[in-house]
Structure 1
Amino acid sequence: MLDDVNKTDLFCDYYKKWIQVYKEGAIRKVTMDKYYMSHSWLEKLAPTLKICELTRIAYQQILNDYALYHERQTTMDFHHQLKGAILDAVDEGLIERDPTRKAIIKGKTPAPKKIKYLNQFELHTLIANLELKTEVNWDWFILLVAKTGMRFSEALAVTPKDFDFAHQTLSISKTWDYKGAGGFLPTKNKSSVRKIQIDWQTVIQFSELLKGLPEDEPIFVKGKVYNSTVNDILSRHCASLKIPEISIHGLRHTHASLLLFAGVSIASVARRLGHASMTTTQKTYLHIIQELENKDVDLVMRSLSSLS
């Protein structure tokens, strides 16, 4: 498909062909959608730019225009996606020099993001008021996420077979394609494949709930699932209990936050959440870690003053 490309072809057309040749079938749909989103922005920002006209200045202008609407990290992702195609075009002789060299990445100042999570009393209030019926419902889903800190797609993919009640563990080895046509997908990364320890109460509750259910079928999926549906249910619970309204992802933050406040190490929390590295955990929960460090300083001072 790329054999018939000429230097005078539009760059946005070349980029679309490049996606189809090199990315179609090689990456997950959610990542593929991001490449096509980059293509749609390219059509808006440089609809008439030809491949032979892609100089460093022209490329920098594309990045600058994109950065007017996006934060720096998003602009960086856009740059990386375009760069792959451009370097191939350089290798093919369609572009003489790499126009992405020394590119300057700009972007809007990110709005302060405060993670929404519940404190221990609020979480206890929520769990105590869930309608945990004898048959599976979304309240059971809310309970499981609160107790494990799983991602939404991971929790949807859980089957009865994933529970090891004898050893009090839950295996995470797949996700559910709720944004697409359904079905199992791989986890977000290798670190996301893990075993989560679950408490004895959760063991008793789910061992009873799952009796008679098909071993290899997802527990919570019955037809098309929408993130908004479950978030609405959780939000209504929170509103009725007069506690902060959070999302399912907020339950994951709640789980991690309570573990950190309880003194669980960052390394253990990172493994439990399936983060690729502790750096991700540290960045996400920086405000909590700083709060804990302030408490540590007070503890150190009290300990030292007692030595006199």
Structure 2
Amino acid sequence: MRKGEAAALKWSDIELKNKTVVVKKTLDFDFPEAHEELFGDTKNDNSERILQLSNTVVADLKHHMNVIDQNKLILNEMYRHDLNLVMCRTDGRLIPKSTLFNAFSRILKRAKLPSLPIHSLRHTHAVLLLEAGATMKYVQERLGHGGIQITADVYAHISKKIEMNSIKKYESFTESLLQ
């Protein structure tokens, strides 16, 4: 997801039993005063989508939900129940963009990884999907790109592993023609 899409996720957008999440809004990180203006439309029509979640993500979300529920119990009416956000501060309020970016930077630093923009998670996910054999069309739909050309332009050339797998498939196919 894009950072605004992830930040706009509400618990009502997630179906843990079906392992899906509905992406339908984006968060305006400028935090306008009016509550209804916090969430806007996604980047394009294709950005509204239903994503399948892995078992690992579902387990992490269940754990996170337990933490959120504990915060709700402890803070009671001081908790922002009305927002119902998945990614939020301890009291349920919105996470500012700078806090999100700083937390990501700290995680990278602790893991002794180079500094990267948070959007690199989205790119890494796309490359790993392609390396695992996902089609370009599937990746386009999962990322919510307006068209497959956008996905192809960004990701088609990015991985040597994809290139090597393609050559191996080609060689295997042409060898089978000669038998």
Return the structure number with greater relative CO, CA threshold 8 A, min gap 6. Answer: 2
Q: Deviations over 1:130-174 (max 9, x none)?
A: xxxxxxxxxxxxxxxxxxxx1000011011111111211001110
- Partner AA of 2:115 in structure 1: E
Please state whether the residue corresponding to 2:157 is helix, strand or coil. helix
- Distance (whole Å) between structure 2 residues aligned to residue 279 and residue 289 of structure 1: 17
* Native 8 Å contact 1:266 1:281 kept in 2: yes
- Distance (whole Å) between structure 1 residues aligned to residue 82 and residue 47 of structure 2: 22
Q: Deviations over 1:244-264 (max 9, x none)?
A: 322210001111110010000
Q: Normalised by the size of structure 1, how large is the TM-score?
A: 0.46
1:196 matched to 2:59: no
- Distance (whole Å) between structure 2 residues aligned to residue 168 and residue 262 of structure 1: 20
* Native 8 Å contact 1:156 1:175 kept in 2: yes
- Distance (whole Å) between structure 2 residues aligned to residue 241 and residue 289 of structure 1: 23
1:258 matched to 2:128: yes
1:174 matched to 2:29: no
1:122 aligns with: none
Q: Which structure would you say has the larger Rg? A: 1
The equivalences for 1:68-83 within 5 A come to none
* Native 8 Å contact 2:11 2:84 kept in 1: yes
* Native 8 Å contact 1:175 1:186 kept in 2: yes
* Native 8 Å contact 1:266 1:278 kept in 2: yes
RMSD between aligned residues: 2.5
Q: Normalised by the size of structure 2, how large is the TM-score?
A: 0.76
Which ranges of 4 or more aligned residues in structure 1 deviate by more than 6 Å?
A: none
TM-superposed deviation, 1:287 = 2.0
1:152 aligns with: 3
Please state whether the residue corresponding to 2:119 is helix, strand or coil. helix
- Partner AA of 1:254 in structure 2: T
1:184 matched to 2:39: yes
Q: 2:165 aligns with which of 291, 295, 307?
A: 295
* Native 8 Å contact 1:158 1:172 kept in 2: yes
Unaligned runs of 5+ in 1: 1-149
- Partner AA of 1:267 in structure 2: K
1:17 aligns with: none
1:244 aligns with: 114
1:220 aligns with: 87
Identical aligned residues as a percent: 31
- Distance (whole Å) between structure 1 residues aligned to residue 132 and residue 97 of structure 2: 30
* Native 8 Å contact 1:160 1:216 kept in 2: no
* Native 8 Å contact 2:131 2:161 kept in 1: no
* Native 8 Å contact 2:5 2:27 kept in 1: yes
The answer to which of 223-232 and 273-282 deviates more is: 223-232
Please state whether the residue corresponding to 1:196 is helix, strand or coil. strand
Equivalent pairs, count = 159
- Distance (whole Å) between structure 1 residues aligned to residue 103 and residue 65 of structure 2: 22
* Native 8 Å contact 2:15 2:21 kept in 1: yes
Q: Deviations over 1:64-99 (max 9, x none)?
A: xxxxxxxxxxxxxxxxxxxxxxxxxxxxxxxxxxxx
Q: Deviations over 1:43-68 (max 9, x none)?
A: xxxxxxxxxxxxxxxxxxxxxxxxxx
Residues 208 and 240 (structure 1), Cα distance of their counterparts in 2 relative to 1, 3 Å cut: closer
Please state whether the residue corresponding to 1:179 is helix, strand or coil. coil
Q: Deviations over 1:108-141 (max 9, x none)?
A: xxxxxxxxxxxxxxxxxxxxxxxxxxxxxxxxxx
